[in-house]
Structure 1
Amino acid sequence: MIEAMHARVQPYRHERTRARAHGAVTRLLHWLVGGLLVYGLVFPADAAVLADPGRLRIEVAFASVLALLFLVRLLWVSTVGGGSRLPSDAPTWEHVLARLVHGVIYAAVLLMTVTGVALAVTAEAAIAAFGFSAAGLPLMPPQSSLLEVHEALATGLIALIGLHVLGAVWHWLIREDGVWQSMLWPSDRTCELEQENPK
């Protein structure tokens, strides 16, 4: 059975260059931001938060930390650490799909942050929590619309994270190109470096 499975996936294996390893900072930011994001999606705040000043402040603080770390990760990846670790000779469709999924995840997290802040500052408890309220300001959508968009983004993010995980499993079990290992924490990763001193 195992041999038959190996034979079936053999044509999909990547036999040429291997993914270069991510450095410690990139891996730390990836797992920290990913863990906080998954926590926020698995344990979302309920609508009662909007009427509770204390809980509202906690949710805004959590979202602010997550957004800040996400921004730091984005800046780090784009300027120092590098993005995708797909081998340079991987198929074009893999490069396109990787960029697309990562880009949409970044956009969805940004929009979730914006809608979350808008929900907080227009909430029933906004004045008690923050000393002001943006409810009723021109161009500010109603809370029901903001909540719908926020929840739709959360659902979309869950699907995107699922795609991201499936992609990682694809590279680990089928392609065997080192992409999965490039983000693992222990130093005994099997990927070969395409450059020295990864960030």
Structure 2
Amino acid sequence: MQSKPVSKVEIALHWVVAAGIIALICLGIYMSETRAFALYDVHKSIGLLLFAVIVVRVVLRLNKGWPDSVSEGPAWEHGVARVVHWVLILGTLIMPLSGMMDAVMSGQGLSIFGLELVPGNPGDTGRPQAINEGLAEIAEEIHHFSGYALIAAIVLHVAGALKHHMIDKDSTLKRMVGRS
């Protein structure tokens, strides 16, 4: 089955977002487990920069639509793939947005490697004072649980790509590495 080609820009955006999200999830888990607070500014800075790339990718995807399937698999597989793709798209937006909301509402502000975008809210002691503790907690929970949803979707996405490549022997994975 022949499908419309995927552009080099789409392929590059896919891999930049994939690598960035996976790296940030790993870093986020590491920070949570080890309480490595010194890494939060790096995590937030990379997340903010990646968010710009994510927005470009999402706008392009919504304008152009998803690539045609190269597989003639059963309808349920196409349904699962559609759900996983939507979880990935929405998750890559929700993660940074909830992280930004948490940072701002908890009084930490937003900066990219020291360049202040939204100032923090220092309290009397000089430590960040929450602007809205309730919203900060909600954002933190959304950030936390959407990370797990993204992990599950990434695992399913990779499993599906490997299934296409190794079992179906179609060009799905080759297309996403620019070889079809």
Pair 106,127 (structure 1): closer, same or farther in 2 beyond 3 Å: closer
* Pick aligned residue for 2:53 from 69, 72, 75: 69
Q: How many residues align?
A: 164
Give CA-to-partner distance per residue, 1:105-150, whole Å, 9 cap, x none. Answer: 122222212220122113354499643448344xx62544433332
Relative to the length of structure 2, the TM-score reads 0.75
Residue 77 of structure 2 corresponds to residue 103 of structure 1? no
DSSP-derived class of the 2:134 partner: coil
Return the alpha-carbon distance in structure 2 between the equivalents of residues 38 and 101 of structure 1: 16
1:38-187 equivalence runs, <5 A: 38-44=22-28, 45-46=31-32, 49=37, 57-80=41-64, 82-87=65-70, 89-123=72-106, 125-126=108-109, 130-133=118-121, 135-137=130-132, 141=134, 143-185=136-178
Relative to the length of structure 1, the TM-score reads 0.69
Contact map agreement 1:56 1:120 (CA 8 A) in 2:
no
Return the alpha-carbon distance in structure 2 between the equivalents of residues 108 and 71 of structure 1: 12
Q: In the alignment, what sits opposite 1:194?
A: none
Pair 161,144 (structure 1): closer, same or farther in 2 beyond 3 Å: same
Return the alpha-carbon distance in structure 2 between the equivalents of residues 115 and 64 of structure 1: 11
DSSP-derived class of the 1:74 partner: helix
Give CA-to-partner distance per residue, 1:21-77, whole Å, 9 cap, x none. Answer: 42211111111111111110111144564xx6xx65543332121111111111222
Residue ranges of structure 1 left out of the alignment (5+ in a row) = 1-16, 192-199
Counterpart AA for 2:167: I
Cα-Cα RMSD: 2.9
Pair 93,152 (structure 1): closer, same or farther in 2 beyond 3 Å: same
Higher relative contact order (CA 8 A, sep 6+): 1
Residue 30 of structure 2 corresponds to residue 35 of structure 1? no
Pair 36,127 (structure 1): closer, same or farther in 2 beyond 3 Å: closer
Return the alpha-carbon distance in structure 1 between the equivalents of residues 48 and 55 of structure 2: 10
Counterpart AA for 1:166: A
* Pick aligned residue for 2:8 from 24, 29, 43: 24
When Rg is computed on C-alpha atoms for both structures, the one with the higher figure is 1
DSSP-derived class of the 1:180 partner: helix
Residue ranges of structure 2 left out of the alignment (5+ in a row) = 122-128
